[in-house]
Amino acid sequence: MAEEEVVLTQEGFDKLQAELDDLKYVKRKELAARIKLAISYGDLKENSEYHSAKDDQGFMETRIMILEKMLTKARIVDTSDSDSSAIGVGSNVVLKDIEFGDTLEYQVVGPAEADVANGKISYESPLGKALMGKAVGDKIDVEAPMGMIHYELLEIKAL
């Protein structure tokens, strides 16, 4: 089975690349120093500092492999000439919750850079799927664990 591409905005790609660079060129050195210091304490069987550092090293190396694979498979979405008449990956949207009147702002991104707390939703999420291709004024219905949520698309902001 072919591996899927990783859809990213340029901002998301840059963020992942910065994380990878930090892990490879800064954190690896810091962790190597931690391991070296822990080894100096002797008796590795009973050395909790050594075992903790080795566990951290394993997690870090796994994250490095994941990031390298993601960046290799990345397809960067060009948002510079995005069509503000319909929602696509990279679109910034303003929604109104019809029931409560709340106004919400999101950017539709790929799953790898989704971060709801910071207003970034995946195009694969229930809301993201419902938004794709919609235009200003459209009503959007999303099935959520607490029931159906109804939105109105107020604006598609240019980047």
> What pTM was computed for the model?
0.80
How confident is the model at residue 45, as a pLDDT? 84
Return contacts of 129-137, CB within 8 angstroms, 24+ apart: 131/87, 131/91, 131/93, 132/87, 132/88, 132/108, 133/86, 133/87, 133/88, 134/86, 134/87, 135/85, 135/86, 135/87, 136/85
If we measure between CA atoms, which residue out of 85, 82, 90 comes closest to residue 137? 85
User: Low-confidence residues of the chain, pLDDT below 50?
Assistant: 1-2
